[in-house]
């Protein structure tokens, strides 16, 4: 016997469901947002349909019978963008790009559209700017738009129809917060609207084997605005970040078809975004002698080594209580390394305000930077500059030992090519050679201190 369909109520703002109507949504806090919904008529008990007939069950396929094939990657002609995507964007995939206002998301995507148009057609959907504004930016960037089609539309259904009729190779949507769908009665930009719009356009692009880029706004905390479910729906999530200067960093927090550890580096000028293919000394100071509190560290980012300059400063804390100020390196890591130095090197940081910075404004998470961070803190606290032309890399354990790290040979090679003749790094048997490394790290005057 068929099971009686049960009505439910769905929040038009966030999609939260309740068995009965409520004045306020417990999920997003909106008032009078619940709308009555009727479940599909195919919902039954025992597999029968509402009309009494039986619905054919989907037939599973054995994994061994599934044909595996390498997907077709589309190169953008921009090496830094292709690097972050894993060698190019996969056909039929969806990519979500987020970043702060004015950082250059639309400029990056318009330049990518110009590069993609050399090998196929591109559909640029804009819900924020008029077509004349996009044309002005394209002319400034020197982009020829013979194979780029513009569509100023905010309806997800109409965008889906345009994708099916035009059948482009690449679709760019700027931005998802301006899209709306008839399936939801809430205003464009609400979590429910964003979720349904991304689903509709992603499915349309997948049916014509087109890759789609979604430009997204971010909140004041830096996270992509909208439901977290959107990041699960797409194949890759990219974040566009910037430093205090003209540098722009493109990172992947999710990538189903490649590594999520790569980083793309750009500079912004009057001609748009320019790629930085060989960072080299981009993050290093030009001074021959570095002041106290500065250490040079080779950082492994994705598939290349970047030489960065870690800067530390310690001053007496107000009221005898110290705090850590660090934006480019996780504060918890700075606290842990400072605690190791306080325990094993007889240096007191608990009454000091500690400021840590990375030159160039790049955020680093590599565990191999801990030795360089420890040496920068040690140098800042004692006022002793570190030896010239020396680089540091290694992981610091809680017992004060320097542990081995990955890609050590490549780090040493890159540092040597840039003129750093002395590299302080752990050997394979760090415990046996720990005393020798300590002498090389902190000099003869501080051999008595234990690291």
The two tokens of residue 56 are 């054919």
pLDDT at 377: 96
**57 has a pLDDT exceeding 50:** yes
359-414: pLDDT as tens digits: 888 888 899 999 999 999 999 999 999 998 899 999 999 999 999 898 898 998 88
**Owner of token pair 């049960």:** 6
The yes-or-no verdict on residue 440 having pLDDT over 60 is no
For residue 262, name the pLDDT band (cuts at 50, 70, 90).
Answer: confident
| E strand spans, 5-145 | 8-11, 17-18, 34-37, 73-74, 89-90, 94-99, 122-126
Residue 443 has pLDDT above 50, yes or no: no
In CATH terms, the fold of domain 73-275 is Rossmann fold (3.40.50)
**Amino acid 54: pLDDT:** 56
Give the residue with greater pLDDT, 219 vs 183: 219
Q: Has 100 been labeled as part of a binding site?
A: yes
Report the SS3 class of residue 371.
helix
Return the pLDDT at 16: 80
Does residue 168 have a known ligand-binding role? Answer: no
Least confident of 26-30, 54-58, 269-273, 305-309: 54-58
Q: What is the pLDDT of residue 119?
A: 85
Q: Does the annotation place 101 within a ligand binding site?
A: yes
Of 139-143, 183-187, 435-439, 445-449, where does mean pLDDT reach its minimum?
445-449
> The tokens of 221 are what?
């905390």
The answer to whether 416 is a known ligand-binding residue is no
pLDDT at 438: 44
* Region of poorest pLDDT, from 139-148, 151-160, 335-344, 420-429: 420-429
pTM: 0.76
294-446 to CATH, choices 3.30.70.1230, 1.10.3720.10, 3.30.230.10, 3.40.1390.10: 3.30.230.10
> Quick check: 432 pLDDT over 60?
no
pLDDT band at 69 (very low <50, low <70, confident <90, very high): low
pLDDT at 6: 67
| 323-354 pLDDT per residue, tens | 999 989 999 999 999 999 999 999 999 999 99
Backbone torsion region of residue 361, taken as left when φ is above 0, otherwise alpha when ψ lies between -120 and 50, otherwise beta = left
Q: Is 103 annotated as a binding residue?
A: yes
Please report, for the chain, the start and end positions of each structural domain, with discontinuous segments joined by +. Answer: 1-50, 73-275, 294-446
106 is in an annotated binding site: yes
Tens digits of residue pLDDT in 88-119: 998 889 999 998 888 999 999 999 999 999 88
Long-range contacts of 219-225 (CB under 8 A, 24+ apart): 222/100, 223/98, 224/96, 224/98, 225/177, 225/189
Q: Is 105 annotated as a binding residue?
A: yes
Q: Is 76 annotated as a binding residue?
A: no
Given a cut of 50, whether residue 46 has pLDDT beyond it is no
Q: Where does the pLDDT of residue 3 fall: very low under 50, low under 70, confident under 90, or very high at 90 and above?
A: low
pLDDT digits over 172-198, tens only? 999 898 988 887 767 777 888 888 899
DSSP string, 193-230: HHHHHHHHHHHHHHHTT-EEEEEE-B-TTSSBSS-THH
Q: Choose between 227 and 51: higher pLDDT.
A: 227
Q: Look over the chain and give the mean of its residue pLDDT values, rounded to a whole number.
A: 84
């Amino acid at each position: 016997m068929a099971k009686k369909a049960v009505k439910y109520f769905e929040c038009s703002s966030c999609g939260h469901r309740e068995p009965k109507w409520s004045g306020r949504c417990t999920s997003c806090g909106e008032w009078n947002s619940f709308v009555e919904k009727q479940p599909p008529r195919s919902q039954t008990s025992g597999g029968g349909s509402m009309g009494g007939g039986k619905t054919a069950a989907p037939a599973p396929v054995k994994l061994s019978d599934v044909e595996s094939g390498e997907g077709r990657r589309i190169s953008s002609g921009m090496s830094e963008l292709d690097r972050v995507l894993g060698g190019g964007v996969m056909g039929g995939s969806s990519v979500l790009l987020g970043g702060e206002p004015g950082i250059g998301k639309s400029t990056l995507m318009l330049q990518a559209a110009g590069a993609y148009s050399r090998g196929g057609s591109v559909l640029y959907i804009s819900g924020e700017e008029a077509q004349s504004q996009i044309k002005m930016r394209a002319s400034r960037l020197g982009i020829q738009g013979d194979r780029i089609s513009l569509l100023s539309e905010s309806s997800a259904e109409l965008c889906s129809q345009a994708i099916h009729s035009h059948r482009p190779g690449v679709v760019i949507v700027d931005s998802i917060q301006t899209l709306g769908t008839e399936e939801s009665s809430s205003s464009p930009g609400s979590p429910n609207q964003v979720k349904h719009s991304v689903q509709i356009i992603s499915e349309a692009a997948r049916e014509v084997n087109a890759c789609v880029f979604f430009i997204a706004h971010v909140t004041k905390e830096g996270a992509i605005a909208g439901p977290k479910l959107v990041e699960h729906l797409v194949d890759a999530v990219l974040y566009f970040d910037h430093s205090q200067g003209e540098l722009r960093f493109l990172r992947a927090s999710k990538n189903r078809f490649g590594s999520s550890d790569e980083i793309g580096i750009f500079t912004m000028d009057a001609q748009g975004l320019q790629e930085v293919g060989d960072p080299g000394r981009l993050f290093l100071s030009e001074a021959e002698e570095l002041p106290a509190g500065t250490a040079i560290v080779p950082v492994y980012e994705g598939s290349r080594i970047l030489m960065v300059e870690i800067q530390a400063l310690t001053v007496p804390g107000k009221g005898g209580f110290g705090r850590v100020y660090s934006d480019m390196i996780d504060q918890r890591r700075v606290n842990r390394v400072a605690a190791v130095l306080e325990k094993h090197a007889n240096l007191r940081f608990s009454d000091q305000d500690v400021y840590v910075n990375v030159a160039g404004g790049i955020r680093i998470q590599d565990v191999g930077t801990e030795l360089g961070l420890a040496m920068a803190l040690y140098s800042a606290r004692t006022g002793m500059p570190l030896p010239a032309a020396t680089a540091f890399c290694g992981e610091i354990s809680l017992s004060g030992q320097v542990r081995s790290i990955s890609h050590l040979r490549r780090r040493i090679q890159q540092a040597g090519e840039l003129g750093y003749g002395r590299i302080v790094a752990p050997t394979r048997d760090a415990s046996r050679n720990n005393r020798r490394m300590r002498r090389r790290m902190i000099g003869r005057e501080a051999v008595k201190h234990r690291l």
